């Protein structure tokens, strides 16, 4: 059976953020992830994890101005210094939280910038980040995101992400494979998972359409969970979906689809 991590950005958002750790534990999760820890005191987050017997498995590097619509700055050549500061901050938090992996959001292609120049910037920034994170024992991830949810996002498909990994050339850079985004952009979920399992460092899920819980849409999660067991995926799968009618009310999918 797969191991699931509650995404606290998406789940239990009927309660204040710091109370979601307890809610996740009470719902049966033993691991959590969320977008960003930076608005919270590290000691407070460490205490929430410890008090609830939780492992944190993922958070993202700083994304730029999230509230203004930025979704990462790794492909922005004029913000390399800011990116490197974010890498240092991400390492500080991940180390304190004993979080083994950190995701880098590539960002939206800046207006007027050639694709090749954005690609070169992304590769350079990832090469730097992968090396710095490796010193701290933390794995770096990159995530393809569909162009419907985030128009203009630079990294959209597994093939593109694999090309970036090849260009960076680091053994400390892997793919964060989000099943929902992959379904919307390319399909071929089972075959892609099998072919590229060694280069996938983390997975996330939601169903399509709607980005709600598994079993609500077109993705055959019962099959995919069996498939992941069969091909040897042993990592967590982050539950990054929008509960259709409240988190706790919708958790029956775990019993129905993942056993």
Instruction: Tell me if 28 sits within 8 A of 22, measured CB to CB.
Output: no
Whole-number pLDDT of residue 1? 76
pLDDT of residue 96: 98
Half-sphere exposure of 193 (CA within 13 A, CB side): 25
Q: What does the alpha-carbon distance between residue 3 and residue 104 come to, in Å, rounded to a whole number?
A: 23
Q: How far is 87 from 230, CA to CA, in rounded Å?
A: 35
201 Cβ partners below 8 Å, 6+ apart? 101, 139, 141, 174, 175, 176, 235
Indicate the angle between helix axes 42-51 and 80-97, nearest 10 degrees.
Answer: 40
Instruction: Select which of 44, 186, 213, 240 is catalytic.
Output: 240
Query: For residues 211 and 178, is the Cβ–Cβ distance under 8 A?
Result: no
Q: What is the pLDDT of residue 258?
A: 76
pLDDT given at position 113: 97
DSSP secondary structure of 130-179: HHHHHHTT-EEEE----TTTSTTBS--SHHHHHHHHHHH--TTEEEEEEH
**Catalytic-residue membership of 213:** no
Q: Give the CA distances from residue 180 to residues 11, 144, 220, in Å, rounded to whole numbers and listed in that order.
A: 16, 10, 12
pLDDT score recorded for residue 101: 98
CATH number of the domain to which 142 belongs: 3.20.20.150
Annotated active-site residue 240? The verdict is yes
Enter the tokens of residue 40: 């919270």
Specify the pLDDT at position 2: 87
Distance CA 153, CA 125 (A): 17
CA angle 41, 43, 44 (to 5 degrees): 65
d(CA 134, CA 35) in angstroms, rounded, equals: 21
169: domain range? 3-257
Neighbours of 138 (CB within 10 A): 20
Average pLDDT of adjacent 10-residue blocks, the chain of 259 residues: 94 96 97 98 98 98 97 98 98 98 98 97 98 98 98 98 98 98 98 98 98 97 97 97 91 87
Q: What is the value of pTM for the model shown? A: 0.97
Q: Pick the catalytic residue: 143, 186, 188, 213?
A: 143
How many domains does one find in the chain? Answer: 1
Query: Which pLDDT does position 257 carry in this prediction?
Result: 84
Q: C-alpha 106: how far from its chain's center?
A: 12
């Amino acid at each position: 059976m797969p191991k699931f991590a509650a995404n606290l950005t998406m789940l239990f958002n009927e309660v204040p953020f710091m109370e979601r750790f307890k809610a996740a534990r009470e719902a049966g999760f033993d691991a959590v992830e969320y977008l960003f820890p930076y608005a919270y005191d590290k000691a407070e987050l460490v205490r929430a994890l410890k008090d609830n017997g939780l492992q944190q498995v993922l958070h993202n590097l700083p994304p730029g101005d999230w509230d203004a619509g930025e979704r990462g700055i790794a492909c922005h050549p004029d913000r390399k210094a800011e990116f490197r500061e974010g890498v240092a901050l991400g390492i500080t938090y991940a180390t304190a939280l004993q979080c083994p992996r950190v995701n880098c959001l590539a960002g939206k292609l800046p207006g007027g910038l050639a694709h090749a120049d954005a690609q070169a910037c992304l590769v350079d920034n990832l090469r730097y980040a992968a090396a710095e994170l490796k010193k701290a024992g933390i794995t770096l991830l990159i995530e393809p995101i569909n162009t419907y949810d985030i128009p203009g996002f630079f990294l959209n498909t597994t093939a593109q992400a694999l090309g970036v990994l090849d260009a960076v050339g680091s053994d400390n850079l892997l793919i964060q494979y989000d099943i929902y985004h992959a379904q919307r952009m390319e399909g071929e979920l089972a075959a892609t998972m099998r072919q590229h399992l060694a280069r996938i460092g983390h997975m996330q899920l939601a169903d399509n359409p709607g980005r709600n819980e598994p079993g609500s849409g077109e993705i055959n999660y019962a099959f995919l969970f069996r498939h992941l067991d069969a091909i040897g995926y042993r990592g967590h799968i982050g539950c990054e979906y929008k509960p259709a009618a409240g988190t706790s009310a919708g958790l029956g999918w775990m019993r129905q689809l993942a056993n």
